[in-house]
Chains A and B, each alone.
Chain A
Amino acid sequence: FRLNIEGLLVYFPTLDAKGHGVLEMPSGTGKTISLLSLIVAYHKAYPLEVTKLVYCSRTVPEIEKVVEELRKLMDYYAKQTGAKNDFLALALSSRKNLCIHPEILHANIVVYSYHYLLDPKIADLVSKELTKKSVVVFDEAHNIDNVCIDSMSVNITRRTLDRCQTNVETLQNTISRIKETDAAKLREYRRLVEGLKEANVARETDMYLSNPVLPDEILQEAVPGSIRTAEHFVGFIKHFLEYLKARLRIHHVVQESAPQFLKDIYEKVCIDRKPLRFCAERLRSLLRTLEIADIADFSAITLISHFATLVSTYSKGFTIIIEPFEDRTPTIANPVLHFSCMDPSIAIKPVFGRFQSVIITSGTLSPLDIYPRILDFRPVTTASFTMTLARTCLCPLIVGRGNDQVAMTSKFETREDFAVIRNYGNLLLEMSAIVPDGIVAFFTSYIYMENIVASWYEQGILENIQRNKLIFIETQDAAETSMALEKYQEACENGRGAILLSVARGKVSEGIDFVHHFGRAVIMFGVPYVYTQSRILKARLEYLRDQFQIRENYFLTFDAMRHVAQCVGRAIQGKTDYGLMIFADKRYARADKRGKLPRWIQEHLTDGSLNLTIDETVQLAKYFLRQMAQPFRQEDQLGLSLLTLEQLQSEDMLQKIAQIAQQA
């Protein structure tokens, strides 16, 4: 792949400068393999500079894909050099393969999920012993800020509290039992007085990855007297629990900051800030002392203790929202306490601080400048690559109006409009008649999808569509969805053709690829903005505005567009693949939306493909599909998007590549 080489050239300085990088490369162009091969090569050349590669991906299948690529690379190395390679690669994928063996220390390449690095609870177990000279790669990182936020946020419902209550009781029982049998065991007092010196020493000597839950100050202090003995600590937790229960017994929404919360807790139940901060650490120590093997049972109490520590440690970047009921069901009392992180940089900060190079990469990272801003780091390189193609294998079209010239948009005011829904229906109908095999259509939300489909049914559009293709619908039920997906693929496979109706941000939109015939067209109905009335989101937007000077609208558009890019990106997986991308909303034609699409899509979005009517779309799509159906051989790509070894070594080609690399 030519893209590979460009990527490598740009990427190289990142390693040299020991800095961080943000790279956008279209999917299926060998992003993974190029990163892997480069880092492995770098490691081979300078074994002292880079000792370890940590490759983080999002889901289990993706991790497996990486491992597969890695295996290929290793085979290639073995074949080329003839020597058996001394690389140890380790993949930590699902729970069933989970391994916390010290071997991780010696492995040269570690592949696992983000959470192992970002989530403080897990990171502590798995990742803290990674050396400083590691290179960390976050793949599919377009959602990394949300992952960061999720890992630092805590939601407490009444059920959590109830389970916590049981945990506390179990603890109490265990303590009293042990006290009778083996009192000496409980003498952890001394260690607590000495504080967490051990951890402190470790951090100073730079052995461990710092844990964001464990703030610097408490390392220097001793655990306060009030929670030093086991009974006292359990009592303390009980106290805290009661307070939380009281807080959940409300009838209106409360939003407050962390200091406000602390003040309130001090006034009401006299709990000080200091012991709260030690909660997480203290609990861990207690659990260790009690030799409780199955920590999973104590998830509720661990959650509460983390909450306590976080709320007392960070005064900025967090907000507490207590809602007595869900917005959709205002009659059912279901109080939730959201302790929500608004600043993704908190969770990822230790990662950036510790490792010499962190690379964030995905197929869709546009606009590139926003990621460094919200994650608060300074990248050495930021680059967006386009695909070098021997043929134009993607065809983005923006459909702005129906044949009756009525504007097509999912704007709130007009989304229930009869004409808009009918036009959406007509678009799908027309496309179903000309696109072979599979079409994936994305709606902005489940509710909107239900409304539209119901309306189509009444208008008889659904029946007409079914003459062309079968229709499958993604639901919120995972089992149902995977069933639908399976049948959808079957229908595509045996020539019947199918349409999958799904939701942006849903399960289908992320992580499930529709290669070749499984997705010959992707249709985006509307712009998938997040639900803006959510209080958590509002708080976050406010925070972004105040702290990072990012306007609400800018962020919302960015967020919507990255989901759009994800959705439409599902269809194109590599250079031999091809697919239509249809954006059915006139708002996509605006510069602020269009400009946020990845460069590799924008590049193919000509003026001629903006604000089309359905008829024009059909014409263009037909033409495109016929073009793409022409035989396409590997040799056609040679010299354009594939290079032979000779071509690679030729002088002018090298110059050309260097030029491209500079532009990027």
Chain B
Amino acid sequence: MDEEPERAKRWEGGYERTWEVLKEDESGSLKATVEDILFQAKRKRVFEGHGQVRLGMMRHLFVIIDSSRSMEDQDLKPNRLTSTLKLMEFFVEEYFDQNPISQIGIITTKNKRAEKLTDLAGNPKKHLAALKKVVDSTCVGEPSLYNSLNCVALPSGTEIKEILVIFSSLTTCDPANIYELIKTLNALKIRVSVIGLSAEVRVCTILTRETGGSYNVILDESHFKELLMLHVKPPPASSSSECSLIRMGFPQHVIASMSDQDAKPSFSMSHLDSTGEPGLTLGGYYCPQCRAKYTELPVECKVCGLTLVSAPHLARSFHHLFPLEAFQETPLEEYEGERFCEACQGELKDKSVFTCLACKKVFCVECDLFIHDTLHCCPGCMQTDRTS
């Protein structure tokens, strides 16, 4: 009996938010405020991070997912854990799409312990599979920030530069003074960012401030997604970090035709440690140095340690270094010209239009975002290049 009004209230709670936003501004107009907020949020990402900064191209990111008792809270639907994992899957895909030569690792923490779900690896499939498995696990006990950070920081052999913590609980159960650990992290130049699911916790504020990361707390699910996506983009590298030249191999995909008598199906090196699907394949990528075979790229050669990538991967990482410049925003009223978006050919209806500074073509908001987020080059400029 108690259950029914409870749910109604929760639903109401979700609804209330929209009204909260719907505050009248001074002239009493309502709709402007809501639009503004959405609009600003969309634009924010485009504007951030422009200018001459050095970006770390090969990222080694560890994601720590809190799976303590508080993850069972149902303020994200259906509960925090499921919602988080769903977003994480999306994040992993997006991460590898945008940073093809980077690696990721996942750690969960519950019951005062930290558990390494997946080690650093550049293969999204493995991570996604691991994430799917976590969904069914129960959330118990308290998280331990210390243990999970320690889990990452201890094996100092690998060069981890970033940690992202998704922290739902308000407490952490630590075996030792966490401030000492923060100092160590700082010395190792590890950047720790935190996304809080409930409220601002002091220790996270300090942790992120000291290590130069960002700390955000989600408002609702869409905000959560937005915050997570901010981490897709590589962070600016600190100026002190040295540039290193990395040897890379660009293996060609060799497809042995069935008709070729010499070709024998063989195992790939990546099957050595994975238990499932030990398939024999005919073709694959062969390491130019030691001829070890792999079925997927990017990967680090297990035999000679060479980083193997394909040229398109490298090219895709490249755009971060030369981001497309933000378009100039002008209110629709002031804009005089053809009311068509150059990209989608749709009518310009939003209250602002965006002009590319180079080719002076105009775009609508949606296209502006698509160009900056996905295309990374201005279609207008491309056209002019071609015609000239």
Contact = CB atoms under 8 A, between A and B. Distances in A.
Interface string A396-409: 00000001000000
A437 B171 CA distance: 8
B200 A495 contact: no
Interface string B185-205: 000000000001011111111
A623 interface: yes
A634 interface: no
A469 interface: yes
A493 interface: yes
B6 A615 contact: yes
B179 interface: yes
Chain B interface SS verdict (over half)? mixed
Contacts of A494: 172, 174, 177-179, 203
Interface string A476-496: 000000000000000011111
B202 A626 contact: no
Interface in A413-455: 433-437
A497 B198 contact: no
Contact of A436 (B9, B142, B174, B199): B199
Contact of B199 (A496, A516, A625): A625
A82 interface: no
Contact of A628 (B17, B200, B205): B200
Contacts of B204: 495
B201 A496 contact: no
A631 B216 contact: yes
Contact of B9 (A516, A619, A629): A619
A468 B201 CA distance: 13
B378 interface: no
Contact of B202 (A433, A516, A627): A516
A436 B201 contact: yes
A628 B196 CA distance: 12
Contact of B198 (A436, A492, A615): A436
A625 B198 contact: yes
A623 B204 CA distance: 19
Nearest to A625: B199
A629 B200 contact: yes
A394 to B, nearest CB: 15
Interface in B201-244: 201-205, 216-219
B200 A627 contact: no
Contacts of B219: 626-627, 630
Interface size band for B: 20 to 34
B200 A625 contact: yes
B325 interface: no
A626 B70 CA distance: 15
B5 to A, nearest CB: 9
B75 interface: yes
B139 interface: no
A559 interface: no
B49 to A, nearest CB: 16
B170 interface: yes
B166 interface: no
Contacts of A627: 219
A492, A517, A626, A631, most chain B CB atoms within 10 A: A626
A284 interface: no
B200 A496 contact: no
B13, B172, B199, B204, most chain A CB atoms within 10 A: B199
B217 A495 contact: no
A520 to B, nearest CB: 8
A65 interface: no
Contacts of A44: none
B173 interface: yes
Interface in B5-34: 6, 9-10, 13, 16-17, 20
Nearest to B205: A517
Contacts of A221: none
Contact of B217 (A468, A493, A629): A629
A239 interface: no
B170 A433 contact: yes
Given A623-B17, A626-B219, A436 B202 contact: yes
Contact of B171 (A468, A615, A622, A625): A468
B217 A630 contact: yes
A54 to B, nearest CB: 39
A497 B145 CA distance: 14
Interface string B56-90: 00000000000000100001000000000000000
Contacts of A520: 199
B198 A626 contact: yes
A3 B200 CA distance: 27
Interface string B113-149: 0000000000000000000000000000010010000
A495 B16 CA distance: 31
B186 to A, nearest CB: 16
A150 interface: no
A616 interface: yes
Contacts of B201: 436-437, 495, 517
Given A494-B177, A496-B172, A630-B219, A435 B202 contact: no
Contacts of B145: 495
B218 A626 contact: yes
B75 A495 contact: no
A497 B16 CA distance: 29
A457 B10 CA distance: 31
Please give me the 8 A-B residue pairs with the lowest Cβ-Cβ distance, nearest first: A495-B203, A629-B217, A517-B202, A629-B200, A625-B199, A436-B199, A495-B172, A436-B201
Given A615-B9, A626-B219, A628-B200, 16 more contacts: A433-B70, A433-B170, A435-B170, A435-B199, A494-B179, A495-B145, A495-B202, A496-B172, A497-B170, A497-B171, A517-B201, A517-B202, A619-B13, A623-B20, A625-B199, A625-B200
6 contacts: A433-B170, A434-B199, A436-B170, A437-B170, A496-B173, A630-B216
Interface of A: 403, 433-437, 467-469, 492-497, 516-517, 520, 615-616, 619, 622-623, 625-631
